[in-house]
A and B are shown apart, each in its own frame.
Chain A
Amino acid sequence: MRLSGKNITKLCRAHGLSLNALLKRAGVSKTAFYHLLYKESVLPRSIEALAAVLGVRASVLLDEADQESRRAVRLLEEVDRIAGSDLSVDRDNVRHTLLLLEEKPIERLQRSLIRARKPDLHE
């Protein structure tokens, strides 16, 4: 499984970051990044070996993480679309709203009340 330069670029754009800024903030050197980017597989050999024995691609073993990543990209693309059409909106508000809309109304209320009642908020 390879590192996706395309996805990283998309996510950088969604966060308003350049690749250099991302690497700096993440504490990853350019050498390390490009080394990973051009590797045939970023997974440890043991994962590849497990997949080989099971007769599946290594990505099948990592499906959940992959789905989460795709979901995050889709969400940020939606934030881009909405915030891009109205510069007065706060991107964080849009992102939080979209995340909450993925939940049931009762779960949204639960978050709202629990956060308001958290006793050690300022401790």
Chain B
Amino acid sequence: MPENLIFTSKEVAFLRELERHKVEFMLVGAAAAALQGAPVVTQDVDLWFEDVKDPGIQSALRKSGGIMVPSFGHNPPTFAGDAVKLFDIVLTMHGLMSFAEEKKNSIEVSLGRVKVRVLDLARIIKSKEAVKRPKDLLVLPVLRDTLKTLKRKER
């Protein structure tokens, strides 16, 4: 199973626990773009939570053996521990609407035994256009070409 090659059993357990506790989250960023066919590389999997204080997150962390390090200084909250270090917490998606609104622009994707919501590629592009970090500007042409390919392939 490819899922075993990407995620450790603890990481899968964490995602499944989030699902079980009905935590509202979706995959965003480069990993979400890759899932939709973008030929990009990434080091981590960004998870955008509707409410990072959702008790379901803490329950999922306890079950899978991870912890959340609260934000301090300019550092946003982060996950720590082998079970969750692949995942990054996203609090805000710049240039986009609220989580609830953007959920309408998400799709459900199966990652082996877990199903996750993934932000639509067009919205990922919109956010990266708003953030304008050098790494976002570098990947934008590839993401735009992928979106054009997806649209034209449908015709």
Q: Interface of A with B (CB < 8 Å)?
A: 78, 81-82, 85-86, 89-90, 93-94, 96-98, 100-101, 104-117
Chain B proximity of A122: nearest CB distance (Å): 13
Interface-central residue, A94, A98, A106, A114, by most chain B CB under 10 Å = A106
Q: Interface of B with A (CB < 8 Å)?
A: 2-3, 5-6, 30-31, 34-43, 45, 109-112, 118, 141-142, 144-146, 148-150, 152-153
Main SS of chain A's interface residues? helix
- Docked CA distance A114–B7 (Å): 11
Residue of chain B at shortest CB distance from A96: B39
Residues of A within 8 A of B149 (CB): 82, 89, 93-94, 97-98, 101
Main SS of chain B's interface residues? helix
Known A-B contacts A82-B153, A116-B42, A117-B43; the reply to A108 vs B148 at CB < 8 A is no
Contact of B153 among A86, A98, A106, A109 (CB under 8 A): A98
Contact A113 B42 (CB under 8 A): yes
Known A-B contacts A78-B153, A105-B109, A117-B43; the reply to A111 vs B34 at CB < 8 A is yes
Chain B proximity of A108: nearest CB distance (Å): 5
Contact of A93 among B2, B5, B43, B142 (CB under 8 A): B142
Residues of B within 8 A of A78 (CB): 153
Residues of A within 8 A of B144 (CB): 89
Residues of B within 8 A of A105 (CB): 35-36, 109-111, 118
Contact of A112 among B31, B111, B148 (CB under 8 A): B31
Contact A112 B40 (CB under 8 A): yes
Chain A proximity of B60: nearest CB distance (Å): 20
Contact of A108 among B5, B35, B141, B153 (CB under 8 A): B35
Residues of A within 8 A of B152 (CB): 81-82, 85-86
Contact B41 A82 (CB under 8 A): no
The 4 closest A-B pairs by CB, nearest first: A112-B34, A93-B145, A96-B39, A116-B41
Chain A proximity of B139: nearest CB distance (Å): 11
Residues of A within 8 A of B40 (CB): 112
